[in-house]
Amino acid sequence: MPSLDSPSGQPQLTGIRGSFLDFIDDPFYKSETDCVRYIADGLMVLAAGKVRALGTYADLQPKYGEIPITEYPGRLIMPGFIDTHIHYPQTSMIAAYGEQLLEWLNQYTFPTEQKFKDKTYASEVAEIFLDELLRNGTTTALVFACVFPQSVDAFFEAAERRNLCMIAGKVMMDRNAPDAICDTAESSYQETKALIQKWHKRGRLHYAVTPRFAITSTDEQLRLAGKLLQEFPDVYLHTHLSENVDEVAWVKQLFPDCTGYLDTYDQAGLVKERSVFAHGVHLTDEEFQRLSAAKSAISFCPTSNLFLGSGLFKIEQAKSHEYPVKVGLGTDVGAGTSFSILQTANEAYKVAQLRRQKLSPFKALFLATLGGARALCLEDTIGNFDPGKAADFIVLDPRATPLMAFRNDPETPSDLTALADRIFSLVMMGDDRVVQATYILGELAHDRTKSIA
């Protein structure tokens, strides 16, 4: 952790000046004006890696007149993005041509994941992966490692060195995959238990029990995953659910006694508040209702769902008033085609369009920040700029490319209508190029002006 104490023992105060945008509530359920917090000329005061105060520069500057202030004129400062589903071992196989889910797994994914038996290789990839997250403004992610426990150690060691808030876990898979990347029900239980004891709640790290999906786990393995959730009630459950039609059909064959795909997890005690299910493209009405009742979350992964031809997620059904389900955005790299949550929100908008729905820019950026934090039950510590939250934030340049500079005039938006237009351009046109800086616990962790030649 950074040491920010001054000689007097009081934490040193620093300030960030710019335009601030965050969310204080969910715009799917309340009016956008009640949910959006926008300060055109703001000051955020930081102490010991946390937000101490946020207000207009005019109000706060007199009170904190002496503190060093970093100024970001013309920039939009937001909470760091939250990626609710991504696979770090698949970093090198992003953009693998031609297949849908089950063939894609056999042809590309399983061979790639075998390489992570080698801890040195796993550590190299973990560093590249985390660099890429930070370049894209993602400060927290829920991450699949792979079957080898050392792939989890490599990831958490790298995340810990960077003071990142990350959730990850060892993949559990004991059938329907090559022997080289299969464990057994018993070994997956023992290895997961040891990893939970080593990593869960160590600093900013959290553990997720991670059965890959129902197809690659026996009943016994899913049951033991449920046992782990009982033994360690505050760990997460992270898996895939109802992504692809052939997958759903195979699950029905493999689990004839279950009422559907979600029920394979439910019968094992895996459908809970800290459970995050990636995709949910082909859920039934009853399954949406069950997820709502259990307070579980869905990770909406539009670039992946389009890339693998999986289908169009029903965002309006997940965010219904009657049966609300928590939703975050997931890149799902390597089936997802970008590390950028802005690009992910762009594709989410288009998925909604194809279903004659509208995903407003505020709603999209809510999902990318506070919505993601809520999906991961981390809203007490990250997701917006409430005092006391971790100072994980990003500095966005709405004029980062020649075309964006042409589209967006230099003036700071003064109201929510002008802001909505500005941020919609970020969602449609933005990617890592608009992320000028990423801060972790108040410390600069990525500076685009220095990292490009």
Binding site residues, Zn ion, CB under 5 A: 278, 332
Q: Which residue is nearest to Zn ion (CB)?
A: 332
109 binds, among Zn ion, ligand GUN, none (CB under 5 to 8 A by kind): ligand GUN
Q: Which residue is nearest to ligand GUN (CB)?
A: 335
Cβ-based nearer residue to ligand GUN, 332 or 432 = 332
Asked if 172 is part of the footprint of ligand GUN (rule: CB under 6 A), the reply reads: no
**Least CB distance to ligand GUN at residue 202 (A):** 26
Cβ-based nearer residue to ligand GUN, 332 or 347 = 332
In the chain, the amino acid numbered 347 is E
Return the axis-axis angle of helices 416-429 and 361-368, rounded to nearest 10°. 60
Residues 289-308 close enough to bind ligand GUN by CB under 6 A: 304
Q: Establish how many alpha carbons lie within 13 A of residue 377's alpha carbon, considering only the half-sphere containing its beta carbon.
A: 17
Asked if 170 is part of the footprint of ligand GUN (rule: CB under 6 A), the reply reads: no
Asked if 238 is part of the footprint of ligand GUN (rule: CB under 6 A), the reply reads: no
Which residue, among 75, 81, 25, 29, has the nearest Cα to 365 in the 3D structure? 81
Rounded to 5°, the CA angle 233-237-243 comes to 160
Residue in 105, 373, 390, 426 binding ligand GUN, rule: CB under 6 A:
105
**Least CB distance to ligand GUN at residue 97 (A):** 15
> Are the C-beta atoms of residues 321 and 308 closer than 8 Å to each other?
no
What is residue 267's DSSP assignment?
T
> Are the C-beta atoms of residues 413 and 425 closer than 8 Å to each other?
no
CB atoms inside a 10 Å sphere around CB 362: 22
Asked if 195 is part of the footprint of ligand GUN (rule: CB under 6 A), the reply reads: no
Distance CA 298, CA 243 (A): 11
Residue in 78, 237, 306, 335 binding ligand GUN, rule: CB under 6 A:
335
Asked if 212 is part of the footprint of ligand GUN (rule: CB under 6 A), the reply reads: yes
Asked if 348 is part of the footprint of ligand GUN (rule: CB under 6 A), the reply reads: no
Asked if 338 is part of the footprint of ligand GUN (rule: CB under 6 A), the reply reads: no
> Candidates 101-109, 115-123, 196-204, 383-391 — which segment interacts with ligand GUN by CB under 6 A?
101-109
Work out the burial of residue 52: count CB atoms within 10 Å of its CB; fewer than 13 is exposed, 13-18 middle, 19 or more buried: buried
Phi then psi for residue 199, to 5 deg, are -115, -25
**Least CB distance to Zn ion at residue 329 (A):** 13
Asked if 192 is part of the footprint of ligand GUN (rule: CB under 6 A), the reply reads: no
Asked if 87 is part of the footprint of ligand GUN (rule: CB under 6 A), the reply reads: yes
Asked if 243 is part of the footprint of ligand GUN (rule: CB under 6 A), the reply reads: yes
213 binds, among Zn ion, ligand GUN, none (CB under 5 to 8 A by kind): ligand GUN
Asked if 213 is part of the footprint of ligand GUN (rule: CB under 6 A), the reply reads: yes
**Least CB distance to Zn ion at residue 213 (A):** 9
Cβ neighbors of 15 (< 8 A, separation 6 or more) are: 43, 44, 45, 46, 60, 64, 67, 68, 69, 70
**Least CB distance to Zn ion at residue 142 (A):** 10
Which two structure tokens, joined as six digits, stand for 86?
Answer: 């991504």
Distance CA 380, CA 387 (A): 10
Asked if 109 is part of the footprint of ligand GUN (rule: CB under 6 A), the reply reads: yes
Question: What is residue 443's three-state secondary structure?
Answer: strand
Cβ-based nearer residue to ligand GUN, 4 or 133 = 133
Asked if 314 is part of the footprint of ligand GUN (rule: CB under 6 A), the reply reads: no
Residue in 240, 282, 319, 389 binding ligand GUN, rule: CB under 6 A:
240
Work out the burial of residue 233: count CB atoms within 10 Å of its CB; fewer than 13 is exposed, 13-18 middle, 19 or more buried: exposed
Distance CA 420, CA 430 (A): 14
Cβ-based nearer residue to Zn ion, 14 or 84 = 84
Which residue, among 74, 18, 21, 20, has the nearest Cα to 408 in the 3D structure? 74
Strands (E), 32-169: 36-47, 50-56, 69-79, 81-87, 138-144, 165-169
Residue in 332, 392, 397, 432 binding ligand GUN, rule: CB under 6 A:
332
Residues 386-415 close enough to bind ligand GUN by CB under 6 A: none
**Least CB distance to ligand GUN at residue 42 (A):** 39
Distance CA 428, CA 301 (A): 16
Asked if 385 is part of the footprint of ligand GUN (rule: CB under 6 A), the reply reads: no
Interface residue list for ligand GUN (CB under 6 A): 87, 101, 105, 109, 212-213, 240, 243, 304, 332, 335
